[in-house]
Amino acid sequence: MSSYKDKIDLSRLPQHIAIIMDGNGRWAKDKGRPRIFGHKNGVDSVSVITEEAVKLGIQYLTLYVFSTENWGRPLEEINALMELLIDSIEKETAKLQKNNVKLKAIGDLERLPKKVREKLEDCIHTTSANTGLTLILALSYSSRWEIQHAVKKITQDACDGKIKPDEVSEELISSYLLTRDIPDPDLLIRTSGEIRISNFLLWQIAYSELYFTDEHWPAFRKEEFYKSIVCYQNRDRRFGK
């Protein structure tokens, strides 16, 4: 049986892939199970896709794990998600080390429970010298929050005389974003059939290729990942030119 993997041109891989991991709750509901069951199975997809990104030679993978809007969910679900996050970091750190993956995190991390921050910081420190795939977790993140955060810093630096109005450029704004050391995504994937961006990397995806799939995130596996890359490679990227 043929695979989309055989159609991938390894010389034209997207440097950075970002994924909106949607559909955990709906996948669980379809199976008559609680939402947290979907989240737990979604972790398996994270592990599988991260390993495939490593094998293919993708350089950056950003996953939208938890948005600032998600804080409005029921407390029971939030607590379960935070516990799942702690457990996942503990279990995956050794695998990240083995696969030479460097972990980073972006977002309003101060809002995360202390134990989550500590586990996250430990894993980031442990993997900091790795030179393969950089895995970025967007946690307590939203793009409008990030841009607001950047504007405040730019304004403060302008008030302090460090920046002149005519020095404000796209490059300067990008340098104040949390992704300043990360190239913009070439490919943005959203699962579960929803066709919207949901406040994710709005500045950074200005010229990203978008790929939407009906697969819920817990069911998103290698073949659909390969298919998204093949679809990306079949497009003509002109960047507005």
Residues labelled catalytic: 22, 70
Give the containing element (helix H, strand E) for 64: strand 60-67
CA distance 84 to 118: 14
| Tokens linked to 34 | 């609680």
**Residue 84 in 3-state DSSP?**
helix
| Tokens linked to 48 | 């599988």
Contacts of 148 (CB under 8 A, 6+ apart): none
CB atoms within 10 A of CB 10: 8
Asked if 140 contacts 108 with a C-beta cutoff of 8 angstroms, the reply is yes
Q: Is the dihedral of CA 162, 168, 172, 176 positive or negative?
A: positive
Burial of 225 per CB tally in 10 Å (0-12, 13-18, 19+)? buried
